[in-house]
């Protein structure tokens, strides 16, 4: 069974972003399902995809002056750091963490796509509507209109 099934709930209406997210889900499922012998290869493919995926979104945010650039890109950075840590642990003889990563990334992606990526897709479709700005943790977001 796939870790994460692609569904309409994951479609954000931004075609390049949706295509990238379909690829993310496919590579995530491959990471969670493939044979142990190819785990490193699948992990590297997943990390390479994620680096390009996040950089593309970061670029859209920079170019569009997206108000949530910092919190969104910081979350990307944190996730990439975890992926690289898991790769390091794999090489140190802890392959079981690859499966843990795949499981956790399924949960994380569903949440991230429904919140941060959804706000970005909506902003890119209509920047004049504004978007919430990053706030210190625990404070509500204030909508910023341009």
Residue 14 is a binding residue for Fe ion (CB under 5 A): no
For 83, half-sphere exposure in the C-beta direction (CA atoms, 13 angstrom radius) is 23
| Cβ count near 136 (within 10 Å) | 5
Site for Fe ion in 43-82 (CB under 5 A): 57
The residue among 91 and 107 lying less far from Fe ion, judged by its C-beta, is 107
The count of chain residues that interact with Fe ion, using the rule CB under 5 A, is 2
The residue among 39 and 45 lying less far from Fe ion, judged by its C-beta, is 45
CA 84 centroid distance within chain: 14
Phi, psi angle pair for 59, to nearest 5°: -65, -45
Of the candidate residues 117, 119, 123, 131, the single one contacting Fe ion (CB under 5 A) = 117
The residue among 96 and 127 lying less far from Fe ion, judged by its C-beta, is 127
Shortest Å, Cβ 90 to Fe ion: 24
The residue among 16 and 127 lying less far from Fe ion, judged by its C-beta, is 16
**Cα–Cα dist 9/15, whole Å:** 14
The 3-state DSSP class for residue 14 equals coil
- Residues within the interface to Fe ion (CB under 5 A): 57, 117
């Amino acid at each position: 069974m796939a870790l994460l099934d692609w569904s309409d709930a994951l479609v954000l209406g931004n075609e390049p972003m949706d295509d990238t997210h379909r690829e993310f889900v496919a590579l995530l499922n491959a990471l969670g399902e493939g044979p142990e012998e190819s785990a490193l290869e699948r992990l590297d493919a997943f990390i390479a995809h994620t680096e390009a995926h996040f950089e593309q979104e970061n670029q859209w945010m920079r170019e569009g002056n997206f108000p949530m650039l910092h919190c969104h890109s910081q979350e990307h950075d944190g996730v990439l750091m975890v992926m690289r840590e898991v790769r390091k642990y794999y090489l140190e003889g802890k392959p079981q963490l690859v499966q843990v990563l795949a499981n956790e990334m399924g949960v994380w992606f569903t949440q991230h796509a429904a919140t941060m990526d959804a706000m970005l897709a909506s902003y890119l479709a209509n920047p004049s509507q504004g978007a919430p700005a990053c706030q210190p943790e625990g404070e509500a977001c204030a909508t910023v209109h341009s």
